[in-house]
Amino acid sequence: MARMKAVQSSGPGTDWELVERGIPEPGPGQVRIKVEACGICHSDMFVKEGLWPGLQYPRIPGHEVAGRIDGVGSAVTAWKKGQRVGVGWHGGHCGHCESCRRGDFRMCRSAKICGFSYDGGWAEYLVVPAEAVAALPNELPAEEAAPLLCAGITTFNSLRNSGARAGDLVAVQGIGGLGHLGIQYASKMGFTTVAVGRGKDKEALAKALGAVHYIDAAAANSAEELQRLGGAQVILATAPDSQAIASMVDGLGANGTLLILAAPGQPVMVNAVTLIGKRAAVRGWPSGTATDSEDTLRFSVLAGVRPMIERYPLARANEAYQQMISGKARFRAVLTFNP
C-alpha cells in the first residue's frame, strides 16, 4: 500500500506526532484530495486535548484544507481529478434531517467536521464527502486560500448575515487570526469599521487593514468609545476572552447585535438590562457550508482580502501549533506541502 506522511494525536493530551499512514481510498460519494496547504486553527486544540464529544483516536486534525482532487469515488459527478478545491469546518451533512430538508445544511443534526469526525488535512492526502468540497479560484494560492476556509468564511459569512447595511458602524473586537480578516471584510463591505485591540502599537495595522477608527482597550473603555461614535450596529467578537466580549455589550446601539465568533473557555455574562433597553441581541455564528466557502473565496479575490500567514512544513507542525496557541502567530499558521 502507498504511504503518506501525517501528523496525528494518539489520545487526549498527547503531543502531536509525525507518522506514516496508508493513503486512504475514496468510497462512494467521496473524493480524495492531495493536500497543498492546511491552516492551523485554535479549534484544533479540541482534538489535542480531547475536549470534543465523540472523538476517536488516533486522529489527524485540520479543517482549513487546500489542494487538488486526486481521486473520486463512485456516484461522484460534480468533481474531477485535478480540480483545485478546499474543505473547511463543515465536513458533510446527512441530507435527510429536518434542517437538511429545509436546505440549512450547516445545522444538520448529523453534521460532520473535517479533522474531528474523520481525519483532516495535517496529512499529504485526505478523503472527504463530496458535499464538503469547495472550488478554489485560480487567483488564490493554496496557502492563502486555506485560512479563508475557516477564519475567512466565519467572519465573512457572519457579517453578510448580520443585518448591518453599508455605512453602519461595525466594530471588530480583537486583531488576530479572525479579527484581521474581519476588519478587511467589514471595510470592503462598506461598513464604518472600528477595530478594538489592546495597545497603541496595533493602530497602524488596524487602519492599514481598513479600520476607520481604532480603540485601544488597554487605555480606554471600549463600550464608551463606541457610544461616542454613535453605538455599534454589530460588534464582531473574535478574541476568546469572555470578560472582554461581555464588556462590549454596552457599546451596542439600538437594535445592535453582539456577534460572537470566538469560543472562550468561560461563559459570557452579559447585562440583560442593556439588551432589553436597546432591544439588542447576542448571537453566535458557526462558519458555513461549501457554497458559503466559495462565496467567501470569490469575494476575497474580488475585494483583495488576504490572510497574513506564517508558513511551516508538516514536520514543524508542533512548532506551528505552539505559535498559534500562544497567540504569537501573525496571524494564521499554515502547513505547506511540496507540490
Q: Write down the pLDDT at residue 339.
A: 58
Torsion-angle region of 86 (φ positive above 0: left; ψ -120 to 50: alpha; else: beta): beta
pTM over 0.85: yes
110 and 62 in a common domain? yes
More confident residue, 6 or 1: 6
pLDDT 10s digits, 37-93: 999 999 999 999 999 999 999 999 999 999 999 999 999 999 999 999 999 999 999
Domain that holds residue 312: 3-151+287-336
Nearby residues of 327 by Cβ (< 8 Å), 6 or more positions away: 176
Strands 84-87 vs 65-72: parallel, antiparallel or unpaired = antiparallel
pLDDT 10s digits, 21-40: 999 999 999 999 999 999 99
φ/ψ (deg, to 5) at 299 = -65, -40
206 and 84 in a common domain? no
> The cell 436546505 sits on which residue?
103
Average pLDDT over residues 320-332: 93
Domain boundary among 251, 269, 284: 284
57 and 180 in a common domain? no
Report yes or no on 157 lying in a domain: no
CATH number of the domain within which 256 lies: 3.40.50.720
Report yes or no on 124 lying in a domain: yes
CATH number of the domain within which 300 lies: 3.90.180.10
Residue 294 to residues 36, 155, 215, 253, Cα–Cα distance (Å): 18, 14, 32, 32
280 and 131 in a common domain? no
Domain boundary among 267, 284, 301: 284
pLDDT 10s digits, 108-160: 999 999 999 999 999 999 999 999 999 999 999 999 999 999 999 999 999 99
166 and 89 in a common domain? no
Question: How far is Cα 288 from Cα 63, in angstroms, rounded to an integer?
Answer: 13
Domains of the chain: total: 2
Q: Write down the pLDDT at residue 129.
A: 98
For the record, the C-alpha cell of 142 comes out as 493554496
Question: How far is Cα 170 from Cα 160, in angstroms, rounded to an integer?
Answer: 12
Report yes or no on 156 lying in a domain: no
Whether residue 248 is predicted with pLDDT greater than 90 in this model: the reply is yes
pLDDT 10s digits, 170-196: 999 999 999 999 999 999 999 999 999
